A and B are shown apart, each in its own frame.
Chain A
Amino acid sequence: MSIATTQASGTVTAPWTRGLVEIRGVSKIYAGHEVLHDVNLTVRPGEVVAILGPSGSGKSTLLRTINHLESVDRGWVTVDGELIGYEQRGDRLFELKEREILKRRTNVGVVFQNFNLFPHLTAAENIAVAPVALGRLGKSDARELALGLLAKVGLADKPDAYPRQLSGGQQQRVAIARALALQPKVLLFDEPTSALDPELVGEVLDVIRDLAKLGTTLIIVTHEIGFAREVADRIVFIDAGHILEVGPPRAGLRFSAAPTHQRIPGTRALRRVPGHPSTTHPAQQHSQQKLTEIEAHNGN
Chain B
Amino acid sequence: MTDTVKEHRSAAPTQDSPQIVNRDSPDFAALKVVHTRHYVRWIFGALVLFVVLQFLCSLATNDKYGWPVFATYFFAPAILKGIQLTLALTVVSGTIGFILGTLLALARLSKSPILNSVSWSFIWFFRSVPLLVQLLVWYNLGYLYPRLGLGVPFTDNYFWSFDTVTLVSQFAAAVLGLSLNQAAYSAEIIRGGILSVDQGQLEAAAALGLPRHVRVLRIILPQAARAILPNAFNEIIGLIKGTSIVSVIALGELFYVTQVIYNRNQQVIPLLLVSVVWYIIFTTVLSVAQFYVERYFARGALRVVPPTPIQAARAWVNTQWARLDEKPEAPEAATTRIGGNGS
Contacts and interface: CB of A to CB of B under 8 A. Distances in A.
A235 B207 CA distance: 24
Interface string B285-329: 000000000000101111100000000000000000000000000
Nearest to A68: B206
A178 interface: yes
A298 to B, nearest CB: 25
A164 B303 contact: yes
Nearest to A105: B209
B204 interface: yes
Contacts of A116: 198, 200-201, 203-204
B206 A119 contact: no
Nearest to B202: A116
A120 B297 contact: yes
A119 B303 CA distance: 11
Residue from A108, A122, A133, A163 whose CB has the most chain B CB atoms within 10 Å:
A133
Contact of B223 (A67, A119, A129, A164): A119
A98 B297 CA distance: 30
Contacts of B299: 120, 162
* Chain B residues touching A, range: 20 to 34
Interface string B191-209: 0000000101101111111
A106 B297 CA distance: 29
A109 interface: yes
A164 B301 CA distance: 7
Interface stretch (B3-11, B211-219, B269-277): B211-219
Contact of B208 (A106, A163, A164, A165): A106
Contacts of A237: none
A98 B212 contact: yes
Contacts of A112: 200, 203-204, 207
Contact of B210 (A102, A117, A164): A102
Contacts of A108: 207
Contact of B207 (A99, A105, A129): A105
A69 to B, nearest CB: 6
Contact of B300 (A67, A114, A120): A120
B66 interface: no
Contacts of A130: 208-210
Interface string A142-185: 00000000000000000000111100000000000011001000
A102 B300 contact: no
Contact of A165 (B218, B223, B303): B303
Contact of B209 (A118, A121, A134): A134
B340 interface: no
Contacts of A105: 206-209
Contact of A162 (B198, B201, B210, B300): B300
Contact of A118 (B206, B212, B219, B297): B219
A98 B222 CA distance: 23
Interface in B204-253: 204-212, 214, 218-219, 222-223
A122 B212 CA distance: 21
Contacts of A103: 209
Contacts of B208: 105-106, 129-130, 178-179, 182
Contacts of B212: 98
A116 B208 CA distance: 11
Interface string A123-141: 0000001100110000000
A247 B207 CA distance: 29
Residue from B209, B214, B297, B302 whose CB has the most chain A CB atoms within 10 Å:
B209
Contacts of A35: none
A162 B223 CA distance: 13
Residue from A102, A109, A163, A165 whose CB has the most chain B CB atoms within 10 Å:
A102
Given A133-B214, A164-B301, A164-B303, A118 B207 contact: no
A69 B214 contact: no
A102 B212 CA distance: 9
Nearest to A67: B207
Contacts of B203: 69, 112, 116
A231 interface: no
A116 B301 CA distance: 13
A146 to B, nearest CB: 13
B3 to A, nearest CB: 29
Contacts of B200: 112, 114, 116
A108 B211 CA distance: 16
B228 to A, nearest CB: 13
A178 B210 CA distance: 13
Nearest to B217: A133
A134 B208 CA distance: 9
A106 B214 CA distance: 15
Given A130-B209, A134-B209, A163-B300, 7 more contacts: A99-B211, A116-B198, A121-B300, A133-B218, A134-B210, A164-B302, A165-B303
Interface of A: 67, 69, 98-99, 102-103, 105-106, 108-110, 112, 114, 116-122, 129-130, 133-134, 162-165, 178-179, 182
